[in-house]
Structure 1
């Protein structure tokens, strides 16, 4: 299973970005060494279906309900209050807070093989097997 993080172009009305869980069967390969902010393709959502276009390939997925809700949390240092760390040798103060970003109840599953997108002007130029 390949998990992908999708960063939205717009934020929701509350100001937090909305997150979507995508599940792919297989893997993605890239010649790039740094893939952290690499644009993979374009995705569109219509009701309970999603379509991902990567290069000349189209992959279609469907929305399914998760068996158990999935919590997305963010770790950050606590501000304001000072708490003593248990390590007395360093005498440092540190505290960590975990914020719940969202609870996911659905995911999009892409279980089929990608289909090839052929330009309309090139369709019908080759015939296989006949």
Structure 2
């Protein structure tokens, strides 16, 4: 399941990116993760992405996609179906290292 995030550009129109996680993302409950907030995404001063999920910290990197994706919105009218291009996705943020636990002071 691709996870879409919206990145606000500096002085430019808004850009979108895809987050790619290596491995599995599991929940304690049996319900689906679709439509739920799973963590917080931050960028360091140097521009490296950092994802915090629960008590885990993941470091990633941003890369360009080989082939861009189009985000489409489906609209049905009385007589036909049309698709509106919302944006073109050109970047992905990839997290491929093992998560590091966040440990508090005792």
In structure 2, relative to structure 1, the CA distance for the partners of 1:34 and 1:17 (3 Å cut) is farther
Per the normalisation by structure 1, the TM-score is: 0.66
Deviations 1:22-65 (A, max 9, x none): 01100100123143332211111245421111111001110001
Name stretches of at least 5 consecutive residues in structure 1 with no aligned partner: 79-92, 123-130
Q: Which residue of 1 aligns with 2:39?
A: 41
Q: Which residue of 2 aligns with 1:70?
A: 69
Deviation at 1:105, TM superposition (A): 1.1
Is residue 116 of structure 1 aligned with residue 101 of structure 2? Answer: yes
Any idea what SS the aligned residue of 2:88 has? Answer: strand
In structure 2, relative to structure 1, the CA distance for the partners of 1:36 and 1:7 (3 Å cut) is farther
Name stretches of at least 5 consecutive residues in structure 2 with no aligned partner: none
Per the normalisation by structure 2, the TM-score is: 0.79
For 1:90-101, what aligned pairs fall within 5 Å after superposition? 93-101=78-86
Q: Which residue of 1 aligns with 2:27?
A: 30
Is residue 20 of structure 1 aligned with residue 17 of structure 2? Answer: yes
**Contact conserved, 2:16 with 2:90, CA < 8 A, in 1?**
no
In structure 2, relative to structure 1, the CA distance for the partners of 1:48 and 1:64 (3 Å cut) is farther
In structure 2, relative to structure 1, the CA distance for the partners of 1:4 and 1:115 (3 Å cut) is same
Give the RMSD, CA atoms, in angstroms.
2.6
Deviation at 1:7, TM superposition (A): 6.6
Deviation at 1:70, TM superposition (A): 1.3
